[in-house]
Amino acid sequence: MADEQAEAAEDQGGVATGKGSLTVTDNRTGETYEVEINDGTVRAMDFRGMKVTDDDFGLMTYDPAFTNTASCRSSITYIDGEAGVLEHRGYSIEQLCEQSTFLEVAYLLVHGELPGKAGLDCWTHVITHHTYVHENIKKSMEGFRYDAHPMAMLLSTVGALSSFYPGAKKLEDETERYMAVVRLIAKMPTLAAFAYRHNLGLPSVYPDNDLSYPGNFLSMLYRMTEVSYEPDPRLERALEVLWILHADHEQNCSTAAVRAVGSSQVDPYSAVAAGIAALYGPLHGGANEAVLQMLERIGTVENIPAFLQGVKDRKERLMGFGHRVYKNYDPRARIIKKHVDEVLEATEAGNPKLEIAQELEKHALDDEYFTDRKLYPNVDFYSGLIYEALSIPSDMFTVMFAIPRTAGWLAQWLEMVCDPETKIARPRQIYTGARQLDYVPMDQR
């Protein structure tokens, strides 16, 4: 069955599955080696046997930033960057955004298949009933400064959750693994909303089990004195779609961090905290915040040509453009773009930055500098505008990304923990420093 699927994927121009071999001649020694090719890859360890002398360490591969190195086998997310295709467990992102909900996609990522009605009801019930956090977690969040970055609060609080669930260390226990997955997906919106309210000096709002996953999040953000909060269905749907779009994206920086840290067999709360730390960076999750700052700086449509000249002169970076994997339009950007108008209408927000963004996109797509480099809008180009319309401050944008990505991180963590090929991640280095120096006492330096 697996072979048939692989062949079918190959027929569709999908995963490279070719078997074969590579003949390598080491010109240092004249020796020739056969290296096996499987699934379009060679094993780096097969090069280790290529030595000049017997005590030689052997040939290593050098790949800073892992731009051409597969670190795992995964059946979760498929991306064809050239064609602009994104699929989760084989289902296209377009169909999922159109027909599914975030919690169903989270189920799909974690379990590997779409749920039946009873399965989805049970999953929704169990997630909904784990949204509360221990009161001490809430108290510890109250200890942050009023202006603490919400991502810093989220990062440390998720790390702290590890101390509340010591059983999560038992990675061999299937029930513990499952409960950690449920708790993290359930509590992430609660922690995110607590961080948001803390920054505003407002009391935290406890979860409302009668609302949907995104509806409950909106309630925890915005509810004031109402007896019950009724989320606007248009905003609920926009969040649903944004969260489906951000649920997983194969081996990106934060997912690689979760897998690498998780490979030490630490508990999943700590591994996910590592993912949050990676996502905090402006080249990863922080890019949509940088997009808004960029649009703010551009100020008016008339300033766009001068700004783009600055990018071409390498004084600036066009934030929200370019992607390590997509060398075509990011399919997520296309879907988000459709929802911008709807959210602006629902929130009656009107946003002059939208016009600048649309013009900027047109200018860049008309300019060989960008098209030659295959620089197209990515998912972050428009998501910040939606968050801004929802009155979510830019500091919170990365937190908004972390909520859905938790499902992807956990699906990838589970896959890693259950993979018999998993070993602790431990890259090699090319040492470039000094050797065998004599220690110089302080008074002689």
Tokens found for residue 136? 């001490």
Q: How far is Cα of residue 7 from the mean position of the Cα atoms in its chain?
A: 29
User: Pick the catalytic residue: 208, 248, 380, 395?
Assistant: 380
322 binds ligand CMC (CB under 6 A): yes
The window from 6-14, 145-153, 375-383, 429-437 that contacts ligand CMC (CB under 6 A) reads 375-383
Instruction: Give least dist CB 379 to ligand CMC, A.
Output: 5
Instruction: Give least dist CB 39 to ligand CMC, A.
Output: 23
Nearer Cβ to ligand CMC (160/407) = 407
382 binds ligand CMC (CB under 6 A): no
Q: Is 125 in the active site?
A: no
84 binds ligand CMC (CB under 6 A): no
| Alpha-carbon gap, residue 287 to 397, rounded angstroms | 9
Half-sphere exposure of 104 (CA within 13 A, CB side): 18
Q: Report how many residues bind ligand CMC under the rule CB under 6 A.
A: 19
Helix, strand or coil, per DSSP, at residue 32: strand
Instruction: Give least dist CB 361 to ligand CMC, A.
Output: 13
Of 283, 303, 345, 428, the residue at the interface with ligand CMC (CB under 6 A) is: 283
Instruction: Give least dist CB 76 to ligand CMC, A.
Output: 15
403 binds ligand CMC (CB under 6 A): no
Nearer Cβ to ligand CMC (123/387) = 387
Nearer Cβ to ligand CMC (212/288) = 288
DSSP structural state of residue 321: B
User: Pick the catalytic residue: 232, 284, 363, 419?
Assistant: 284
Tokens found for residue 384? 């910040």
| Alpha-carbon gap, residue 324 to 252, rounded angstroms | 9
295 binds ligand CMC (CB under 6 A): no
383 binds ligand CMC (CB under 6 A): no
Chain residue at closest Cβ approach to ligand CMC = 322
User: Pick the catalytic residue: 267, 323, 330, 339?
Assistant: 323
Instruction: Give least dist CB 283 to ligand CMC, A.
Output: 5
Nearer Cβ to ligand CMC (70/283) = 283
Of 267, 380, 388, 415, the residue at the interface with ligand CMC (CB under 6 A) is: 380
207 binds ligand CMC (CB under 6 A): no
Q: Is 111 in the active site?
A: no
| Alpha-carbon gap, residue 368 to 127, rounded angstroms | 48
Q: What is the DSSP string of 70-128?
A: -----SSEEEETTTTEEEETTEEHHHHHHH--HHHHHHHHHHSS---HHHHHHHHHHHH
Instruction: Give least dist CB 381 to ligand CMC, A.
Output: 7
Q: Is 323 in the active site?
A: yes
Long-range contacts of 175-181 (CB under 8 A, 24+ apart): 177/268, 177/414, 177/417, 180/267, 180/268, 180/269, 180/410, 181/110, 181/268, 181/410, 181/414
Using alpha carbons only, give the angle 148, 284, 410 rounded to the nearest 5 degrees.
Answer: 85
- CB contact set of 317 (below 8 Å; sequence gap of 6+): 311
Distances (CA, A) of 337 to 217, 275, 298, 362: 22, 27, 20, 13
Picking from 205, 244, 243, 222, the residue whose alpha carbon sits closest to that of residue 93 is: 244
324 binds ligand CMC (CB under 6 A): yes
Of 284, 293, 329, 393, the residue at the interface with ligand CMC (CB under 6 A) is: 284
Catalytic residue list: 284, 323, 380
Tell me which residues touch ligand CMC (CB under 6 A).
249, 252, 283-284, 287, 311, 317-324, 373, 375, 378-380
